[in-house]
Chains A and B, each alone.
Chain A
């Protein structure tokens, strides 16, 4: 089955039909998606700033990582659920869209970078250039995820 055939099948399901005809569902799902993203991105920012030495300096990196990284995982679950429902609502808009795939690649990379930073925070080695680079990459990846997500609305599906 091709992606387009899958999209056609998905958009014909009753779940998809319900979301398509009920006008408040898509904006509500998107609102929950953005609110959750806000909490995730700000949590990642706290860890990244601490690694870079420009934020939450009164706490150790380990304390900051232990406080904020555990917030990221449940946020990701909510984002996957609301994101999946948005795909169910408009499969062709998303599944044929290059911006969506860029977003997913960056997401996978952001998860790896977050786990890597957590390992740094828990380890005994001093935080050096590599960790600082990872913190910058983390911020760039989350920002790219948000921008690519918005561009799903602007780039033509094929």
Chain B
């Protein structure tokens, strides 16, 4: 089912144009976008684990930084989908690619759990040291995004 979809996707004229002409440019845009995604997330994570921006209230930092994370993520997802389309069959069978997608999903779940559960009592730790659950979320996010980038880079080496 997924394999059939990948086969169809790679065969489209759109995918072939990317593969033949646009790949290096789209890939460069993907790297620009993903550095901003990971970098802005790290800024917020480092506040959560207590290593940086400790003088700022957490919400003050996250409210102003995370909108840029989402803008960059949109560009990363768009360019990433284009890169995937260009070589869909290869990526389908690529182990680091699959690992990257799993970690990406876990990073999303971690973010959702933080947003809907951990964040509810933010008033208690907004100005000072983050709650243990919030620190854990920051730590998990640092690890997961490091993995996403590591496996992402590894895709080209197998």
| A interface residues, Cβ below 8 angstroms from B | 23, 26-28, 30-31, 34-35, 37-43, 45-46, 49, 55-59, 67, 71, 143, 146-147, 149-151, 153-154
Contacts and interface: CB of A to CB of B under 8 A. Distances in A.
Contacts of B53: 67
Contact of A23 (B37, B52, B157): B157
Contacts, number: 84
Chain B: number of interface residues, binned into ranges: 20 to 34
Contact of A38 (B38, B60, B153, B154): B38
26 contacts: A26-B157, A27-B153, A27-B157, A31-B149, A31-B150, A31-B153, A34-B31, A34-B34, A35-B149, A37-B39, A41-B35, A42-B35, A42-B36, A42-B38, A42-B43, A43-B43, A45-B39, A45-B40, A46-B65, A55-B65, A56-B64, A58-B60, A67-B53, A71-B52, A151-B24, A154-B24
B27 interface: yes
A34 B56 CA distance: 27
A42 B39 contact: yes
Main secondary structure of the interface of A (DSSP, over half): helix
Contacts of B60: 58
Interface of B: 24, 27-29, 31-32, 34-40, 42-43, 52-53, 56, 60, 64-65, 68, 146, 149-150, 153-154, 157
B153 A34 contact: yes
Nearest to B146: A35
Nearest to B23: A154
A59 B154 CA distance: 39
Contacts of A30: 153
Contacts of A67: 52-53
A45 B68 contact: yes
Given A43-B43, A56-B64, A146-B28, 16 more contacts: A31-B154, A37-B39, A38-B39, A39-B43, A41-B35, A41-B39, A55-B68, A58-B64, A59-B56, A67-B53, A146-B31, A146-B35, A147-B28, A149-B31, A151-B28, A154-B24
